[in-house]
């Protein structure tokens, strides 16, 4: 069962310019920034959710997304309590899953993606926060 909106993932051309705009608009700095190989990310807290801004360098999945789709929303992420159970339930409903099993990311959080074919054209990410 979905607990709440976790974050919205947004792909941008220029992360530094985006951060300058959102610093001014929100009156706050990012709550976290990260570099993972050719990808850079900045997270802004808005209420109980996050805006995650991604910029991908050459060869990253976000660079490919940007070239094909331009800037904008990449995915919507929902927090769940039991990600494996949610994936099983979605598979039983016939929803097309990008990830049949959850992946653990640094810090112990588990994630999985549902393809846009199974969710009215929107890429969905499920997140089970580390315990």
More reliable by pLDDT, 105 or 15: 15
**For position 50, what pLDDT does the model report?**
94
Q: For residue 77, what are the contacts with CB-CB under 8 A and spacing of at least 6?
A: 5, 6, 7, 8, 9, 52, 111, 124, 125, 126, 127
Q: Is 52 exposed, middle or buried (0-12, 13-18, 19+ CB in 10 A)?
A: buried
Model pLDDT, residue 8 = 97
Q: Is the distance from CB of 116 to CB of 98 less than 8 angstroms?
A: no
C-beta atoms surrounding 18 within 10 Å: 19
This model's pTM is above 0.85: yes
**pLDDT tens digit string along 31-42?**
999 998 889 999
pLDDT per residue over 43-102, tens digit each?
999 988 999 999 988 888 888 889 999 999 999 999 999 999 999 999 999 998 999 999
16-41 average pLDDT score: 94
Sign of CA dihedral 16, 22, 27, 28: negative
Q: Cβ of 128: how many Cβ atoms within 10 Å?
A: 22
Domain architecture of the chain: domains with CATH: 1-80 (3.10.180.10), 83-131 (3.10.180.10)
Helix, strand, coil fractions of the chain, as percent rounded to 5: 25, 40, 35
Percentage above 90 pLDDT, the chain: 69
């Amino acid at each position: 069962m979905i607990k709440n909106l976790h974050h919205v993932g947004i792909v941008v051309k220029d992360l530094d310019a985006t951060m300058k705009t959102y610093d001014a608009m929100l009156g706050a700095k990012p709550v976290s920034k990260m570099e993972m190989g050719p990808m850079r990310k900045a997270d802004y807290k808005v209420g109980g959710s996050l805006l995650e801004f991604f910029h991908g360098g050459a060869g990253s999945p976000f660079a490919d997304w940007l070239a094909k789709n331009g800037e904008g929303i990449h995915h919507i992420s929902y927090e769940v309590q039991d990600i494996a159970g949610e994936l099983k339930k979605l598979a039983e409903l016939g929803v097309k899953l990008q990830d049949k099993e959850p992946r653990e990311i640094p810090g112990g959080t588990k994630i999985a993606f549902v393809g846009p074919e199974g969710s009215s054209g929107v890429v969905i990410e499920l997140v089970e926060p580390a315990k």
